[in-house]
């Protein structure tokens, strides 16, 4: 997958691009395709990569382990990324033994661009590990390295060089709506509610919370939460949702566990607060998405969302696109929202199709340089990436017995 920009965007829409050493990359990337075409698998591979290299355990989903292969095969995921004005290539080789069901990282290679060449920083198989100044680091014990742990994560506790890169991948895995190997969605779980409630606490409640857990007050965390509070209500107001205030408390239950209580006040009655769980699914999803956008901005990372528009009105998606562009973060997402296509340019659209043999093709629309409305072409099946529904009939219902 090539996320670099088309010449048309470079000439006319630089505000939608990142630039690094004269290489331009899109801030927005939207995957379109029929159900079961492979969109989720593509996004999941990036999120899984991020999870694997930033945490002290790995979760290799079956989708990446060649379960349909006739013999053992090696899969790999390789990312070319720009981080803090540095140009990296990071690759994971995945080992899979279909007979013993062993799933692990076989090799891990990180390279950095020096002048015109990419030089190796670490190579797991060859037991090479260097810091960013290319000094060999002998303190890393390869013999003690688990097959389910990454060199990047292991280095975090031993040296500072790679902490920023580790944090970058951590925020990818933390902010995506893809959890682990299967759970996907913008609905709320208990952890989401707790995080959102925590970030909507009043300043005095924040200080009380830190005192109760016997920790020093984190002024920076309080300041960031106050920024989020303002950010959330401004965005909701811009898109016509009349939530004006919130009440957030964290109490201890009788068993000592914390309980998060969150409610919102609407313009119709600012003195009456409605439990957050009673808000519509669409409003809850939107609040969660705004929170993830803000967290990605704070963490200087990228945001990966599967089925962005699953519970959100189609006309709001282009506004969220503009929001991420203004915040200067990269958002990669899958969608079925044809309305949104009117507001995307050729290099921001990727189409996914799967043939009868389950081979997947990903196509960028860079060939359509200068064309600015793809919705009609897509709806007329000219571009591809649509469900195969040309010859639908329901004749079989004539013989259906109830």
- Could you tell me if residue 298 is inside a domain? no
Q: What gap in Å lies between CA 363 and CA 300, rounded to an integer?
A: 28
- Could you tell me if residue 288 is inside a domain? no
> 93 with 201, same domain?
no
Three state DSSP letters for 179-191:
ECCCEECCCCCHH
- Could you tell me if residue 30 is inside a domain? yes
- Phi, psi angle pair for 129, to nearest 5°: -145, 120
Residue 121's pLDDT is 94
> 227 with 164, same domain?
no
Distances (CA, A) of 335 to 71, 77, 99, 244, 318: 34, 23, 37, 30, 12
Quote the tokens at residue 200: 């909507």
Name residue, tokens 């200067």. Answer: 328
Residue 281's pLDDT is 87
Pick from 324, 319, 311: nearest CA to 343: 319
Pick from 186, 131, 354: nearest CA to 140: 131
- Could you tell me if residue 394 is inside a domain? no
CB 216 within 8 A of CB 210: yes
> 225 with 210, same domain?
yes
For 120, the domain range is: 7-185+306-379
Residue 376's pLDDT is 84
> 156 with 194, same domain?
no
- Could you tell me if residue 60 is inside a domain? yes
In terms of phi and psi (left: phi > 0; alpha: psi -120 to 50; beta: otherwise), the region of 345 is beta
Q: What gap in Å lies between CA 110 and CA 159, rounded to an integer?
A: 16
3 state DSSP class of 315: helix
- CB atoms near residue 271 (< 10 Å): 6
CB 334 within 8 A of CB 362: no
- Could you tell me if residue 261 is inside a domain? yes
> 229 with 312, same domain?
no
> 121 with 255, same domain?
no
Last residue of a domain, one of 281, 298, 315: 281
Residues near 27 by beta carbon (within 8 Å), at least 6 away in sequence: 16, 17, 18, 324, 325, 328, 329, 330, 331
> 174 with 211, same domain?
no
> 176 with 197, same domain?
no
28 sits in which H/E element: strand 28-33
Residue 191's pLDDT is 76
339 sits in which H/E element: helix 338-341
- Could you tell me if residue 317 is inside a domain? yes
Residue 144's pLDDT is 74
Pick from 113, 142, 141: nearest CA to 125: 142
- Could you tell me if residue 398 is inside a domain? no
Q: What is the pLDDT along the chain (402 residues), one digit of tens a residue?
A: 889 999 999 999 999 999 988 899 999 999 999 988 889 889 988 998 898 888 755 555 555 555 555 555 667 899 999 998 899 999 988 776 655 555 677 889 999 999 889 999 999 989 899 988 888 876 666 777 777 778 888 887 677 788 899 999 999 988 998 875 555 666 667 777 888 888 898 888 877 777 776 677 778 888 888 899 999 999 999 998 999 999 998 887 777 777 888 999 999 999 999 999 899 988 998 999 999 999 999 989 999 999 998 888 999 999 999 999 999 999 999 999 999 999 999 999 999 998 877 788 899 888 888 777 788 888 888 888 888 777 777 877 878 776
Name residue, tokens 């991420």. Answer: 324
Name residue, tokens 């920009």. Answer: 5
In terms of phi and psi (left: phi > 0; alpha: psi -120 to 50; beta: otherwise), the region of 249 is beta
- Reported in sequence order, the residue ranges of 46-116 that DSSP labels E, i.e. its strands, are 75-83, 86-97, 102-114
Q: What gap in Å lies between CA 149 and CA 210, rounded to an integer?
A: 33
Last residue of a domain, one of 247, 281, 315: 281
Give me the torsion for CA of 294, 297, 303, 306, rounded to 10°: 10
> 31 with 172, same domain?
yes
Q: What gap in Å lies between CA 80 and CA 113, rounded to an integer?
A: 11
Residue 401's pLDDT is 73
> 111 with 33, same domain?
yes
> 68 with 20, same domain?
yes
Residue 155's pLDDT is 80
> 366 with 268, same domain?
no
Residue 273's pLDDT is 94
Which residues is 385 bridged to in the sheet?
none
Q: What gap in Å lies between CA 3 and CA 17, rounded to an integer?
A: 10
In the chain, the number of structural domains is 2
Name residue, tokens 């920790």. Answer: 215
């Amino acid at each position: 997958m090539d996320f670099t920009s088309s010449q048309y965007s470079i000439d006319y829409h630089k505000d939608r691009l990142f630039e690094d050493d004269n290489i331009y990359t899109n801030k927005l990337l939207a995957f379109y395709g029929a159900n079961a075409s492979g969109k989720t698998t593509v996004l999941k591979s990036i999120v899984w990569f991020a999870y694997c290299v930033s945490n002290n355990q790995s979760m290799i989903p079956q989708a990446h382990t060649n379960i349909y292969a006739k013999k053992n095969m090696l899969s790999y995921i390789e990312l070319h990324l720009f981080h803090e004005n540095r140009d990296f290539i990071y690759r994971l080789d995945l080992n899979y033994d279909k007979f013993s069901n062993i799933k692990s990282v076989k090799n891990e290679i990180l390279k950095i661009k020096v002048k015109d060449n990419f030089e190796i920083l670490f190579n797991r198989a060859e037991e090479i590990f260097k810091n960013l100044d290319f000094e060999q680091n002998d303190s890393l014990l390869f013999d003690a390295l688990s097959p389910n742990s990454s060199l990047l994560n292991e280095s975090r506790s031993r040296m500072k060089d790679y902490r920023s890169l580790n944090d970058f991948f951590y925020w990818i895995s933390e902010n995506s709506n893809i959890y682990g190997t299967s759970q996907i969605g913008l609905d709320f779980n208990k952890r989401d509610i707790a995080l959102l409630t925590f970030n909507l606490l009043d300043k005095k409640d924040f200080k009380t919370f830190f005192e109760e857990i016997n920790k020093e007050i984190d002024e920076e965390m309080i300041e960031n939460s106050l920024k989020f509070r303002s950010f959330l209500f401004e965005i909701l107001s811009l898109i016509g949702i009349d939530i004006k205030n919130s009440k957030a408390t964290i109490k201890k239950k009788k068993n000592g566990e914390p309980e998060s209580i969150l409610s919102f006040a609407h313009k119709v009655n600012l003195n009456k607060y409605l439990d957050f769980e009673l808000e519509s699914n669409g409003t809850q999803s939107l609040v969660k998405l705004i929170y993830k956008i803000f967290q990605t901005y704070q963490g200087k990372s990228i945001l990966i969302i599967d089925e962005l528009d699953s519970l959100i009105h189609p006309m709001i998606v282009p506004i969220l696109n503009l929001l991420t562009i203004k915040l200067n973060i990269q958002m990669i997402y899958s969608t079925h929202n044809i309305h949104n296509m009117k507001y995307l340019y050729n290099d921001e659209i990727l189409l996914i199709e799967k043939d009868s043999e389950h081979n997947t093709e990903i196509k960028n629309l860079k060939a359509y340089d200068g064309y600015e409305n793809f919705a009609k072409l897509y709806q007329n099946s000219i571009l591809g990436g649509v469900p195969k529904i040309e010859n639908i009939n329901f004749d079989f219902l004539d013989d259906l017995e109830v």
